[in-house]
């Protein structure tokens, strides 16, 4: 207990020292190595929030109270009402994101600008221009690099997403759609953007951010069941509260990246369910879900590697290279691969959409940045946007894992081992250099799950220490929102 208190004291000191440096901006390199182009550095812009400062703290205090209330409950009580708790946490996560947006320098009105501006988003602008979605998919490889902003660096899922929303709104009664014409933005540049859109397109730009926020919080359900399957109900529930105050999740709303973790977590849940229940259908669904996620973003591709490594380590741990067990095990993995390939094959057969060619085309347009510089900054960027307290635990637990491996001591956690190896390989490959706080967001839930497990089971953190840990994470989101610009 004394060691844990000492560790928490260091977490508090390091975190608040970092927060002071962020606020004063004495060390610009904390934001990145150099401004874009060609490198990347998060912008520093302090705007006095004034009376709005109390807004995020309302839900922080409520969330901490809710955490204390749930954490005190016995396992059986949680089991009886776990679905109700999950619904409440999804709603809570949604309102946390909304209130942090209201608190931000531009307020809630910035959502329209972030969606509709072609150079901030791109998906929306490309989506509303689609007249024939089938032809769009067939020609995608030829036109992708001409699309605006994020749309030209991703597969077509995001563009189709906005096209679908617009199509649904077009079919709504005209009096509902035209109601939006009673409003208009005050800023001149945003007003010009507003004037260039039809009523249905305006409503699409207004509705879609809230839909994205809702979808991003749906990750909570599969995340809970994944955590429960791996580490137990208590660890799973605590992980959800840490996820609610994940800086990268809150600060990148309403960019589509915030709901990509849903595909990663749901795919991992079915994959691990397949291992535990030996159901081939679970492996197949895992592959299909991951493939669907990659239709939105190539940033989910490393999850395939992560699950493959987990499968391999699970086999080695259970069967020690037994030839008898090898082929039945491979059969399960083949169903995962079959599910993974099903969507690309269907897209190719029906729409002549070649996933491999599209991937190659997208990769040719990635920013050219210093490889060795980003070997460090990628990991730094990813982990500081998970929270300084979380990053400290990652460093401690990874150091322990490496030392134990060298000394051939204790059994390793294959989930964390698979994740660390995946992250190491992806970083060494150097395909992505910069902005990984957003791009690697699908990886974050797996890291958070391990952090909570390590705190709960290895370090035996009590409820009070968890409470402080969670509070510091929440304060970091306020600090980042106040001083740094993740999205204009």
User: Can you give the residue range of the structural domain that contains 428?
Assistant: 2-109+212-485
Is the pLDDT at 334 greater than 70? The verdict is yes
- Burial of 327 by CB count in 10 Å (0-12 exposed, 13-18 middle, 19+ buried)? exposed
What is the pLDDT, as a whole number, of residue 322?
61
Whether residue 181 is found in the same domain as residue 222: no
The reply to whether 314 and 403 lie within a common domain is: yes
Q: Which of 161, 112, 337 is nearest to 262 (CA)?
A: 161
Read off the pLDDT of residues 24-45 as tens digits, 9 standing for 90 and up: 999 999 999 988 888 999 999 9
Coil/strand/helix, residue 111? helix
Residues 47 and 139 in one domain: no
HSE toward the beta carbon, residue 145, CA cutoff 13 A:
13
Q: How many CB atoms sit inside 10 A of residue 402's CB?
A: 11
Q: What is the end-to-end Cα distance of the chain in Å, rounded?
A: 44
Specify whether 366 is located in the same domain as 452.
Answer: yes
| CB hemisphere CA count around 291 (13 angstroms) | 20
pLDDT tens for each residue of 74-89: 878 888 889 999 999 9
- Rounded Cα gap, residues 42 and 35, in angstroms: 8
pLDDT tens track for 310-320: 999 988 887 65
The 8-class DSSP code of residue 457 comes to: I
Q: Which of 7, 6, 26 is nearest to 17 (CA)?
A: 26
pLDDT of residue 425: 97
Q: 216 preceded by cis ω (within 30°)?
A: no
pTM: 0.95
Q: Domain check: are 311 and 348 in the same one?
A: yes
Q: How many domains does the chain have?
A: 2
Pair 330, 192: CB distance under 8 Å: no
CA distance 424 to 433: 14
Half-sphere exposure (CA, 13 Å, Cβ side) for 66? 20
Quick one: average pLDDT of 281-302?
97
Q: Could you tell me if 385 and 417 lie in one domain?
A: yes
Q: Count of CB atoms within 10 A of residue 229's CB? A: 16
CA distance 275 to 280: 9
DSSP state of 361: H
Closest CA to 186 of 102, 107, 98: 107
Tell me which residue of 62, 93, 130 sits closest to 210, measured CA to CA: 93
Partners of residue 484 on adjacent β-strands: 44
Report the pLDDT averaged over residues 166-194.
Answer: 84
Omega before 294 cis (within 30°)?
A: no
Banded pLDDT at 323 (limits 50, 70, 90): low
| 402 and 312 belong to one structural domain | yes
Residues 183 and 61 grouped into a single domain: no
- pLDDT value of position 74: 80
* Interval 258-276: pLDDT, tens: 999 999 999 999 999 999 9
CB–CB of 481/249 below 8 Å? no
Q: What is the predicted pLDDT for the residue at 316?
A: 83
Question: Are 303 and 159 in a shared domain?
Answer: no
Which has the closest alpha carbon to 310: 286, 285, 345, 341? 286
Q: Which of 182, 211, 240 is the last residue of a domain?
A: 211
Q: Which of 211, 229, 244 is the last residue of a domain?
A: 211
Q: What's the confidence (pLDDT) of residue 409? A: 64
Is-contact 366 153, C-beta < 8 A?
Answer: yes
Q: Do both 98 and 122 map to the same domain?
A: no
For residue range 194-252, what is the model confidence (pLDDT) as tens digits? 888 999 999 999 999 999 999 999 999 999 999 999 999 999 999 999 999 999 999 99
Instruction: pLDDT band for 407, please (50, 70, 90 cuts).
Output: confident
Tokens 């490309």, residue located: 126
pLDDT of residue 3: 85
Which of 226, 239, 235 shows the shortest CA–CA distance to 75? 235
Residues 314, 427 within the same domain: yes
Q: Are residues 158 and 228 in the same domain?
A: no
Domain boundary among 176, 211, 246: 211
173/323: higher pLDDT: 173
């Amino acid at each position: 207990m004394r060691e844990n208190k000492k560790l928490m004291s260091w977490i508090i000191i390091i975190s608040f020292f970092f927060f002071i440096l962020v606020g004063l901006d004495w060390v610009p390199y904390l934001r990145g190595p150099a401004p874009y182009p060609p490198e990347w550095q998060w912008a520093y812009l302090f705007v006095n929030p004034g009376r709005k400062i109390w807004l995020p703290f309302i839900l922080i205090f409520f969330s901490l109270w809710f955490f204390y209330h749930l954490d005190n409950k016995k396992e059986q009580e949680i089991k009886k009402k776990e679905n109700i708790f999950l619904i409440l946490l999804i709603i809570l996560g949604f309102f946390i994101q909304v209130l942090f947006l209201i608190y931000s320098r531009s307020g809630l009105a910035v959502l329209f600008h972030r969606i509709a501006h072609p150079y901030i988003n791109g998906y929306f602008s490309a989506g509303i221009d689609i007249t024939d979605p089938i032809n769009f998919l067939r020609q995608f490889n030829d036109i992708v690099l001409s699309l605006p902003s994020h749309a030209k660096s991703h597969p077509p899922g995001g563009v189709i997403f906005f096209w679908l929303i617009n199509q649904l709104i077009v079919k709504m009664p005209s009096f509902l759609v035209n109601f939006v014409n009673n409003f208009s933005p005050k800023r001149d540049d945003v007003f010009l953007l507003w004037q260039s859109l039809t009523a249905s397109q305006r409503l699409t730009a207004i509705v879609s951010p809230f839909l994205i926020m809702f979808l991003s919080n749906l990750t909570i359900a599969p995340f809970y069941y994944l955590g429960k399957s791996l580490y137990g109900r208590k660890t799973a529930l605590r992980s959800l509260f840490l996820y609610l105050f994940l800086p990268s999740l809150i600060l990148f709303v309403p960019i589509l990246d915030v709901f990509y973790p849903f595909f990663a977590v749901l795919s991992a849940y079915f994959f691990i369910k397949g291992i535990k229940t030996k159901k081939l259908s679970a492996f197949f669904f895992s592959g299909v879900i991951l493939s669907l996620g990659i239709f939105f973003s190539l940033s989910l591709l490393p999850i395939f590697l992560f699950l493959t490594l987990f499968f391999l380590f699970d086999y080695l741990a259970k069967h020690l290279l037994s030839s008898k067990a090898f082929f039945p095990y491979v059969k399960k993995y083949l169903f995962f691969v079959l599910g993974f390939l099903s969507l690309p094959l269907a897209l190719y057969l029906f729409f002549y959409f070649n996933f491999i060619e599209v991937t190659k085309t997208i990769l040719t347009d990635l920013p050219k940045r210093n490889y060795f510089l980003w070997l460090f900054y990628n990991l730094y960027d990813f982990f500081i946007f998970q929270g300084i307290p979380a990053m400290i635990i990652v460093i401690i637990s990874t150091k322990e894992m490496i030392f134990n491996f060298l000394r051939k001591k204790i059994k390793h956690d294959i989930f964390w081992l698979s994740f660390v190896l995946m992250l190491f390989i992806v970083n060494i490959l150097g395909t992505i250099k910069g902005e990984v706080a957003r791009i690697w967001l699908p990886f974050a839930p797996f890291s958070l799950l391990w952090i909570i497990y390590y705190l709960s089971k290895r370090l035996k953190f009590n409820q009070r220490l968890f409470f402080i840990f969670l509070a510091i994470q929440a304060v970091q989101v306020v600090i980042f929102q106040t001083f740094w610009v993740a999205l204009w």
